[in-house]
């Protein structure tokens, strides 16, 4: 699916198993876009990138974002969330069903664990 000119979301979703799963849709020298599906109660790994901003487009479901320096907030379908470089972020899926988001960031990103300061992913 990487770097196809056109992806139909409904076709992609129909081909997937139940969450959790992810699918990289775009990977170039400048940007990558990853479609991420998680079930209710699932979370991302708490982390940060010291060098690259990232953002997410919520395509379905409900999630709570925790971004360092901000109060946690609820995001739903159609919301766009910005994660500034150097700020720890964490995502928790809430609600009754799965949640779908498109994450966009540099392909050169390295994420760090905020407690150990060690890279991961």
- State yes or no: pLDDT of 66 exceeds 90: yes
Give the distance from CA 121 to its chain's centroid. 13
In the DSSP assignment, the letter for residue 48 is B
Question: Is 1 a domain residue?
Answer: no
Rounded distance, CA 31 to CA 95, Å? 30
Model's pTM, two decimal places? 0.94
Average pLDDT, integer, range 86-108: 97
pLDDT category, 86, cuts 50, 70, 90?
Answer: very high
pLDDT category, 1, cuts 50, 70, 90?
Answer: confident
Rounded distance, CA 52 to CA 31, Å? 11
Question: Is 116 a domain residue?
Answer: no
Residue-range definition of the domain harbouring residue 43: 13-19+38-76+85-109
CA 64 → CA 19, 28, 93, distances in Å?
A: 17, 29, 6
Selection from 104, 57, 97, 98 nearest residue 77 by Cα: 57
Backbone angles phi, psi at 9, to 5 degrees: -55, -40
Question: Is 59 a domain residue?
Answer: yes
Question: Is 45 a domain residue?
Answer: yes
Based on the structure, what is the number of domains in the chain?
A: 1
Angle ∠(91,95,101) on CA atoms, nearest 5:
45
pLDDT tens profile 68-83: 999 999 999 999 999 9
């Amino acid at each position: 699916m990487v770097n196809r000119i056109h992806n139909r979301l409904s076709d992609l979703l129909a081909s997937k198993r139940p969450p959790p799963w992810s699918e990289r849709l775009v990977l170039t020298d400048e940007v990558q876009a990853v479609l991420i599906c998680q079930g209710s109660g699932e979370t991302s790994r708490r982390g940060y990138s010291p060098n690259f901003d990232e953002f997410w487009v919520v395509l379905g479901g409900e999630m709570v974002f925790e971004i360092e320096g901000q109060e946690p907030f609820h995001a739903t379908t159609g919301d766009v969330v910005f994660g500034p470089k150097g700020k720890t972020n964490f995502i928790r899926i809430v609600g009754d069903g799965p949640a779908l988001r498109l994450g966009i960031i540099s392909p050169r990103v390295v994420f760090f664990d905020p407690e150990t300061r060690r890279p991961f992913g």
